[in-house]
Structure 1
Amino acid sequence: MKLRFLGGVDTVTGSRHLIETATSRVLIDCGMYQGVKALRRRNWAPFPERPESIDAVVLTHAHIDHTGYLPLLVKRGFKGKIHCTQSTLELCRVLLPDAGHLQEEDARYANRKHFSRHEKAEPLFTVKDALRALELFEAHPFDKSFSPVNEVDVSFSPAGHILGSACVRLSHGGKSIIFSGDVGRQNDPVMLPPVPLQSADYLVLESTYGNRVHSTVDPEEALAEVINQTLAKGGIVLMPAFAVGRAQLLLYLIHELQKQKRIPDVPVFLNSPMAITATEVFLRHHNEHRLDANQCHEIDAGTTYVRTVEDAIELTARRLPAIIISASGMASGGRVLHHLKALLPNHRNSVVFAGYQAPGTRGDAMVNGVDKVKIHGEYFPVKAMIYNLDSLSAHGDYEEILTWLKQSSLQPRKVFITHGETRASDAMRKHVEEQLGWDAEVPELYSEVEL
């Protein structure tokens, strides 16, 4: 087998790894680049391999930085199957068409407001492209082997990151490799911890928090403090949140705080069609997280879902105290941008980010203290209070990942460190070598290794 690194190197987005045998080519994840403009421009470049030459795709989980390029891959010639877990399939049915809709909507808005540098802004892909990609999906249960192509066996084990997230174990010709995907936390409030790994010859390991540990601050206490301070001033709490995973965690924490009378019983709005549908999927799948049916019902009953554009516009104009959760999590697009435009100029309001903010995103700029942000071609002053509750991240930090690896039966010949900024990946390499005694390296983009 040969392994080629087509994305997710020196960055936490655009995850793509290619496994090549003598007779087939399997792509592990097919993510879109997000963040700084130099990274986003890669989405518009030709794919580094001919899409029609790839025989199958296997997904670790549904997040756009792992799946968002699929509509383009299909549009540009891929005709194989796309393999994933059942929950990942259900979430991709939400995420991919919504991503196409946002692409179309942003292009229309740019053309209407004339802030695109191009004569006519075009979407990267459309809803139709996303639906065409979804026709190729095929779901598989955890811990049951399947063959995406001849002589290659694959199995999924729970990764604990979001609903349906999996570590991918691939074997061929007596050799095996595990792709960690994004690894969850040991004690997440809603998700179960990642399952210890089976043995394998090689490991491709994420390193989002390779050089950091999460804050030990109690997330419920921190969230209660921010909400109470903001509501006492008569303000609105806005929470930009990833539609899958983070939005559901925030809803759970908010409703627990209200139930315990630790915050006022103000209206809680979820303003993101994608997050609403993802929440409905989450509430159905009791077996994949910690919440029981009664807790799921309480969250559903206590949340106002903002589905239509008209209702979203009305909510954007709201000035009475409330808690609003809206996508996207790094404020890179979606309905949250309209809320930011309305709420940022007022010091009574607060914006609460809930986890990692990739360099170059509006979220990263705001948590690092900028005094204005550019949205839809116009600058808005940042007078609202800005918070980042890092302890709410769905990624295990390096100590949690090392704990998880020590629980496994792994003794790999080599570990490849990916999905992290440069410093984080190199720090993770050192941790793996020093604490586990495994040979580890940080690959370069487009590099290839013989397994």
Structure 2
Amino acid sequence: MRVHFHGAAGEVTGSMHLVEAAGKRVLLDCGMSQGSREMEAANADPFPFDVASIDALVISHAHIDHIGRVPLLVKRGFRGPIFAQRATADLMPIMLMDSASLAESEAERFNRRRAHGEAEMQPLYTREDVADAMAQVRALPYDKRETILGGVDAAFRDAGHILGSSIVELWADGRKLVFSGDLGPKGTPILRDPTPIREADLVLMESTYGDRNHKERAETIAELGQILDDAWRDGGNVLIPAFAVGRSQELLYWFARHWDEWKLSRWTIFIDSPMAGKVVEVYGRHHELFDEDARRVWAERPNPFKLPNLRVTADVEESMAINRIERGAIVIAGSGMASGGRILHHLRYNLGRRGAHVVFVGYQGVGTLGRRLVDGARWVRIHGKDYRVNAAVHTVGGLSAHADQRGLLDWFGHFEPKPRLALVHGEDKAREALAGEIGERDGIEVVLARPGMALQA
């Protein structure tokens, strides 16, 4: 069993690892790189392997940095099965159709304005390409070992990151590989805790927050309530860039749980994303994956997905109308790193207002607008125009969907004896810190995966 690293190896997006075993080639994830213009342009580059030679694709979860190039893989000749956990299989068409629609719209805008003689832009893939890819998806449950190819078995375990997120176990050639996917922190609302795994020959583990620990959740929730109170006092709106899957649903959960305490009835809450509205419906169909606390909140409080002042805006006109509101609106919109999507329009209208508050609840990648705002930029460029930042900017780290250093150390600590370990899905500063902690505690050498590197299990 041999693993070749092709993405999310030294960065936190573009997850893609190729496993060769039992005479077969299995691709783990096929994600899109996100961040700078150069990173995003590289998504159209040729794949670093023969696409037609891939026998199967296994998906860890439905975030775009793990599935965003799947339609392109199929478009360029991949004909094998795509294995995903059942909830992930339900989320994938929603995420990928949105991605295709954005790519088509961007190409259309560019071509309408392109200079004479300038080449036409082609979308990375179309909605038809997404439909073709989804025809190859095979949905599997959690906790069942299945033969996916001759000589290769796989199982999905709950990773606690988003609905359907999976730790992938692969068996072949008498060896076992474990790919963590993205691991969630313990105690995340709605979701169950990541499943501990005890045996492996090689582990590929994410390391997004390998160099830091999150605030305690109780402290984080108190901070969020205080921000809402301050924003009401300041007479502004609250903007929350959040991915459609994961943070948006958790925020609604906390709003329901603290409905009276935070006086949320005085606000109008907007989920400004037709995609997020569809995702909420998928969550509603998969209550069997919820933890016990979430089931209690659904039974005892306002339904988080049906709050009386919740508005899910589907069309562009409804979204534009939000920008006429100068105070009293909580706007949750994508993208989570403010690198595109409807949140950019709301930032344009609100960043200059001293009463406005912008709340980041997840990781902000290098090169993104979100990272610049978190780092304290006083001016930012959106859609070719510069905007002064007068709004208050907050980072509420305890709502991250990723395990922190303590959580990663705890999850890896269950393996006995300790397997070989390669760290993926993390910037070098985070990976080096985590590798140092694990090396000191467990006495093993930790590999920092790089694009093009290969590792034997």
Task: State the TM-score, normalized to the length of structure 1.
Answer: 0.95
Shift of 1:351: 1.0
The CA deviation string for residues 52-99 of structure 1, in whole angstroms up to 9 with x for no partner, is: 111100011111111101011111111111001000011112101111
Give the unaligned 5+ runs of structure 1: none
Task: Give 1:39 deviation, angstroms.
Answer: 2.2
- Please give the alpha-carbon distance, in whole angstroms, between the structure 1 residues aligned to 2:111 and 2:126: 16
Deviates more, 1:303-312 or 1:24-33: 303-312
Going from structure 1 to structure 2, the CA distance change for 1:305 and 1:440 (only over 3 Å counts) comes to same
Within a 5 Å distance, the mapping from 1:251-290 to structure 2 comes to 251-263=252-264, 265-290=266-291
Q: Deviations over 1:144-166 (max 9, x none)?
A: 11222110000111111110011
Shift of 1:118: 5.9
Q: Aligned equivalents of 1:68 and 1:205: distance in 2? A: 20
Residue 203, structure 1, aligned to residue 203, structure 2: yes
1:400: Cα distance to partner?
1.1
The aligned amino acid for 1:300 is F
DSSP-derived class of the 2:132 partner: helix
Cα distance change, pair 423–385 in 1 and its aligned pair in 2 (3 A):
same
2-side partners of 1:85 and 1:245: how far apart? 16
Q: Which residue of 2 aligns with 1:108?
A: 108
Tell me the distance in 1 between the aligned counterparts of 2:402 and 2:221: 18
Q: Deviations over 1:382-426 (max 9, x none)?
A: 2211111111101001111212232x3442431011110011112
In structure 2, distance between residues paired with 1:212 and 1:353: 17
Return the match for 1:443 from 438, 445, 449: 449
Tell me, yes or no, if structure 1 residue 146 matches structure 2 residue 146.
Answer: yes
Structure 2 residue aligned with 1:300: 305
> Superposed, which structure 2 residues align to 1:175-214 within 5 Å?
175-214=175-214
Matched with 2:4 is 4
**Aligned-pair distance for 1:107?**
2.6
- The aligned amino acid for 2:423 is I
Deviation at 1:38, TM superposition (A): 3.3
Give, in angstroms, the shift of residue 36 of structure 1.
2.2
8 Å contact from structure 2 (residues 152, 171) kept in 1:
yes
* Alpha-carbon contact 2:161-2:182 (below 8 Å) kept: yes
- Range that drifts further, 299-308 or 121-130: 121-130
Q: Which amino acid aligns with 1:435?
A: R
Change (3 A) 1:311 1:295: farther
Q: CA deviation at 1:297?
A: 5.9
Evaluate the alpha carbon distance shift between residue 154 and residue 92 of structure 1 in structure 2; reply closer, same or farther with a 3 A threshold: same
332, 335, 360: which is aligned to 1:325? 332
- 1:19 aligns to 2:25 (yes or no): no
Deviations 1:86-142 (A, max 9, x none): 000111121011111111122333445669996543322222211211111101011
Choose the corresponding residue for 1:384, options 352, 369, 391: 391
**Taking structure 1 as reference, are residues 251 and 46 closer, same or farther at Cα in structure 2, changes over 3 Å only?**
same
SS of aligned partner of 1:325: strand
- Structure 2 partner of 1:48: 48
- Mapped to 1, the partners of 2:214 and 2:335 lie a distance apart of 22
Q: What does the per-residue CA deviation read over 1:253-273, in whole Å, with 9 as the maximum and x for residues that have no partner? A: 123222334555311110111
Give secondary structure in 2 for the equivalent of 1:259: coil
Q: Which amino acid aligns with 2:370?
A: G
Within 2, Cα distance between the matches of 1:29 and 1:117?
A: 38
Q: Taking every aligned residue pair, what percent have the same amino acid on both sides?
A: 38
Q: Which amino acid aligns with 1:270?
A: I
| Aligned partners of 1:283 and 1:296 also within 8 Å | no
Structure 2 contact 252–305 (Cα < 8 Å) conserved: no
Separation of aligned partners in 1, 2:158 and 2:117: 44
1:258 aligns to what SS in structure 2?
coil
The worse-fitting range, judged by mean Cα deviation, of 323-332 and 291-300 is 291-300
- Structure 1 partner of 2:417: 411
**Alpha-carbon distance between aligned partners in 1 of 2:438 and 2:359, rounded to the nearest angstrom:** 33
Q: Mark the CA change 1:34 to 1:118 in structure 2 (over 3 Å): closer, same or farther.
A: farther
Aligned mate of 2:382, from 367, 375, 378: 375
Q: Secondary structure at the match of 1:171?
A: strand
Deviations for 1:172-199, whole angstroms, at most 9, x for unmatched residues?
1111110000011112233221011141
Structure 1, residues 306-344: CA drift from partner, whole Å, max 9, x if none?
112221121233224111101110011111111111111
Contact 1:224 1:263 in 2 (8 A): no
1:400 aligns with 2:407: yes
Q: Equivalents in 1 of 2:63, 2:273: separation in Å?
A: 15
Is 1:342 aligned to residue 343 of structure 2?
A: no
Distance 2:84 2:407 in 1: 25
- Answer whether contact 2:22 2:151 (CA < 8 A) is retained: no
Cα distance change of structure 1 residues 442 and 119 upon mapping to structure 2, 3 Å threshold = same
Structure 2 letter corresponding to 1:187: G
What root-mean-square deviation, in Å, do the aligned CA atoms of Structure 1 and Structure 2 show?
2.0
- Counterpart of 1:93 in structure 2 is 93
Deviations 1:218-256 (A, max 9, x none): 122111111111122221101110110011011111232
Q: How many residues align?
A: 450
Pick which of 436-445 and 331-340 moved more: 436-445
* 1:238-257 mapped onto 2 (5 Å cutoff): 238-257=239-258
**Compared CA separation, residues 287 and 115, structure 1 to 2 (3 A):** farther
Conserved 8 A contact 1:228-1:263: no
